[in-house]
Structure 1
């Protein structure tokens, strides 16, 4: 798949995420993330290398913390090229901004956020039956209120504590 096609598909997916009225107070929420290789490539072209989430988790365990390399003075230096997971921060139920920033249209459901993230990570991957099975399983999981609660609790427990 061509870069321009990937960029166009990512833009379509990004447009589905309602953006909160950001106050710029969420730098403490930035942590190890995964992203599509094209998102990583665009960020690298801006002079920032964000480590693969496994490496970032290793660093956090080793050093006792992790700071996203894109942050400077608590602001994202690659904001316009930020990956899907960062765009979903403050826009998805389980990732609601602790500072009160909310999209005017309301928060997306966790299922919607998970499906968009899955779509962004799957761009350019052959649409095999395995991928479709994963999509269906994800949709089934989020249809279960008990799973949604476990998911929200998991995300909230890993959110950095306010000082």
Structure 2
């Protein structure tokens, strides 16, 4: 049986990418991630978390956008790639995510302990 880290790597490879609207951070609200995903993100202080939550932002949202873009959680990567989580600006990949890949992501999220990023 594969461990969650291997599953996350394989799922990331199957999520299509696309260009976002510059300066838009509509998908950068508070999100949850698995412990495997969290282990790859910088640790933030309680004060940083509280300040981000007051603004209803992700704690990793900086002045120039996502400060952990390369390691962002699966839920962040999924945004805009599926009709279920469409970009309000109409940005999207040429081809949307395959439904079975989206389902596997949702299953992983449902079956792993999630914590607030």
Per the alignment, in what secondary structure is the counterpart of residue 28 of structure 1? coil
> Stretches of 4+ moved more than 4 A in 1?
none
Q: Alignment RMSD, CA only?
A: 3.3
**1:91 maps onto 2:86 in alignment:** no
Task: Determine the structure 2 residue equivalent to 1:76.
Answer: 66
What is the distance in 2 between the residues matched to 1:50 and 1:75?
19
In structure 1, list runs of 5 or more residues that go unmatched: 124-163
Higher relative contact order (CA 8 A, sep 6+): 2
**Residues 93 and 107 of structure 1 are in contact (CA less than 8 Å); yes or no, is this contact kept in structure 2?**
no
Evaluate the alpha carbon distance shift between residue 21 and residue 97 of structure 1 in structure 2; reply closer, same or farther with a 3 A threshold: same
TM-score by length of 1: 0.53
Task: Determine the structure 1 residue equivalent to 2:38.
Answer: 40
Task: Determine the structure 2 residue equivalent to 1:129.
Answer: none
Query: How far is 1:76 from its partner?
Result: 0.2
Q: Which has more radius of gyration?
A: 1
**Residues 84 and 117 of structure 1 are in contact (CA less than 8 Å); yes or no, is this contact kept in structure 2?**
no
In structure 2, list runs of 5 or more residues that go unmatched: 113-117
Q: Which has the higher strand share?
A: 2
What is the distance in 2 between the residues matched to 1:106 and 1:6?
24
Length, aligned pairs only: 110
Query: How far is 1:42 from its partner?
Result: 0.5
What is the distance in 2 between the residues matched to 1:88 and 1:34?
13
**Residues 43 and 78 of structure 1 are in contact (CA less than 8 Å); yes or no, is this contact kept in structure 2?**
yes
